Every structure is written in structure tokens, then in C-alpha cells.
Structure 1
Amino acid sequence: MISDGEIVLRLILSAIAGGIVGMEREANNRPAGLRTHVLVTLGSTLIMLISMYGFQGLGADNSGGEPARLAAQVVSGIGFLGAGTIMRTGNDIRGLTTAASIWVCGGVGLAIGSGYYVGGIATTIIVMFTLKSLGFIQSKLLKSQNKLLIVQGKERAGLIGNIGHILGKNNINIKYIKVNNEDNIEEDEGYMIEIRFMVKLPSKFINERFFDEILDVPGVDNVIWEGDLEEAFLY
């Protein structure tokens, strides 16, 4: 049986590890943030401690049974918690990275709870590098192909379809569409809206009349590229 001090150390260390990952998610305004990740990691550690030491003297042998049984339930059970952070709107799916971070935090908790400190701490460091650095690297590598197309004009039926037809004709894949109709200004011909298309350009995209084709669509007043990828489209 390990000492009380070792038990407290493992619980505190797991809370710190989960808090580090949770703070990154909290800073990016994700569905599951600091408290969720701390609780997941802490709970996983506690369950691992119970499975390893909580049943000593109660079973047929002195080991207290098989520690992997409760640990396996944690791995599968956290999947349901992670599913609650995934949101789907049409073809847009968000929250997958947060769900994955919750699942990994469960694994970190199990590792620390079992005394496998090196694995738990190393995993936490790699997770933070993945969340912080790889997102930046991904945006830089894909910046030339993934762009944000902003179209402003007057609201009417079929407007998005007409623009989508032009994008498809130019082999441009639409990854995300967001219509901003808040604080609309009503004019004689209808409400003004802003449509944001997150698109992936083909490897060799050359069309000098691309903007002209979109501006020729009835109701379109302005069209621009926004070069920098927004973080909301990366996670």
C-alpha cells in the first residue's frame, strides 16, 4: 500500500496536468475548458488508485484484483463525455480536438494514478505542443490553399447557390459557410448581409475574372479575400 502523501501527490500532479491542457482550451473558448479537463484527469487518477489499492485485502489475493478492469471502463466512459463537446452544423463539425484532449487527459490521469509519472508528464507536454504549435504550423502550411472569401450584398433567395456554382466551376471546395445577418441594414431592395466562405483552392488556381464572376451575381455588392485563417476554422 502506498503512503497517504504519495496518494495526494498523484492527485495534485494529475490536477496540474489536466489544468495545463484545460487552460489552453479555455483560452480558445472551447466547449470544455479548465474545470472539465481538471476533473477528468483527477477522476481518472482516483479511479486508477482505487483499482490498484482500494481493494487490497478484500479479494482472494493480496493484490486486490486486476487494476486494468476499472481503467478500461474509464477509457470507454470518457468517450461519452467527449461526444458532448462535438457540435455539428450542416457539414461543419467542431469540438473534435477538445473531445480528443479530454480522452487524452483521461489517459494522463490513469498514468499518473498508476505511478507512471514519465509517461503522464511527457504526454501532457506533447499534447500542449500539439494544441499550441501544430495549429500555428497548420495555418502556415495551408495558408496558400485555405482562404476566407467574404461576399457582401443584398439578401435574396438563391444567392448562396449562385455563388456556390461559381466556386464549383473553378474547382474550389467549400469547407464552411457562415451568414452574418446581425444588425442588418434594410435598403429599398432588401437587407444587406455578409456571407463568409471558408474555401480550399486547387493547387493551381488562376482565374483573373473570378471576382468579376461573383460581382456579376445579382445582389452582390462586394467580394474580398481575407488571407489569414481564423482560429475558429482550425479546431
Structure 2
Amino acid sequence: MIGLIEEFSLSTSLPWQVIAVRLLLATGLGGVLGFEREIAERPAGLRTHMMIALAAAVFAVIALEIIAMPAFSDDQIRTDPLRLVEAITAGVAFLAAGSILMRRGKVQGLTTGAGMWLAGACGLSAGLGLWPVALLSCLLGGLVLALVRRLETRVMPKPSERSVERSIKQSGDSGDDG
């Protein structure tokens, strides 16, 4: 039981507030880029960019934390934390790429791919005992997937909905009063 308590009390080299600000900033910056892409009606929009930016920030924080971990400070152990991050990123990216499909001229699966990439980052951080990184990135990713979709549908209707709105508007402007 003591070992379990010690496992969950592992602290990070960066204060959790710094980690939180970095992840929030990355999510916000991804949102800025994604919003522009959404307005331009590109397949990879708001949520996809937010997830990718968040995942990249999580991988970066994990690399910094690996370098500072006592388990890797022994002179007998050669560490290259970037190799770990590269390997997991490449593996998850391969899987995520498989979820992206092109059907009838429409790209599908980008947010799924970004979510898979973030899941890899959460898994890596949890596996290393970086609980604040894992929990916060999972929370932010969940908020992006659940809440931003609602925002997208309220603020930015899909192109098919815009076509219907234009058709209704045009039929109302035909000058036929009766």
C-alpha cells in the first residue's frame, strides 16, 4: 500500500501549474490555427488542430520530465528521452494514419487520428508516472472532443447546412407572393 501511495505522489520537475499553463497554451494555439482552417472549410479543423497541439506539448513535457527523473540519473544508464518519444510518436502516428479515410471526396478520421496520438501521449506519461501530465492532457483532450464539437455545431454550421439555408433564403427571395 505504501508503494502505491509513493507511486501516486511522484512529483514532476516542473511545477504542475507550469505544466498546466504549457498544455493550455498549446491547446489554445492549436485552436487559433484550427479556427482559421475551420473558416476555410478544410478537413482538419478546430478540434483536430487543438488535439495535435496538445499532444505535441504533452510529448515535449514528457521528454523534459524523463531527463529530470532520478531513475535515469545513474551513470550506468545512457538515456536519450527523445528516442522514446520518437518511437511512440511514430507508432501511434502509423495507427492514426490508418484511421484517416477518403470517401466520396471527403476526408474522415482526422480527429480520431489526433485523439489516438494524444492517447499515446497520455499513455506514455502515465507509464512514466507523470500523473499530472497524463491526467491534465486527458482532461483537456476530453474537453476538446466533447465541448468543442458542441461549439462548432452552434457557431459554424456544416457546409451542407449552409447550402440548405441558402436554398431556403433564395426560394424566399423569388418574388412569388402567393
Q: Report the TM-score when normalising by structure 1.
A: 0.39
Larger radius of gyration: 1
- Considering fraction of residues, name the structure with more helix: 2
Structure number with the higher strand fraction is 1
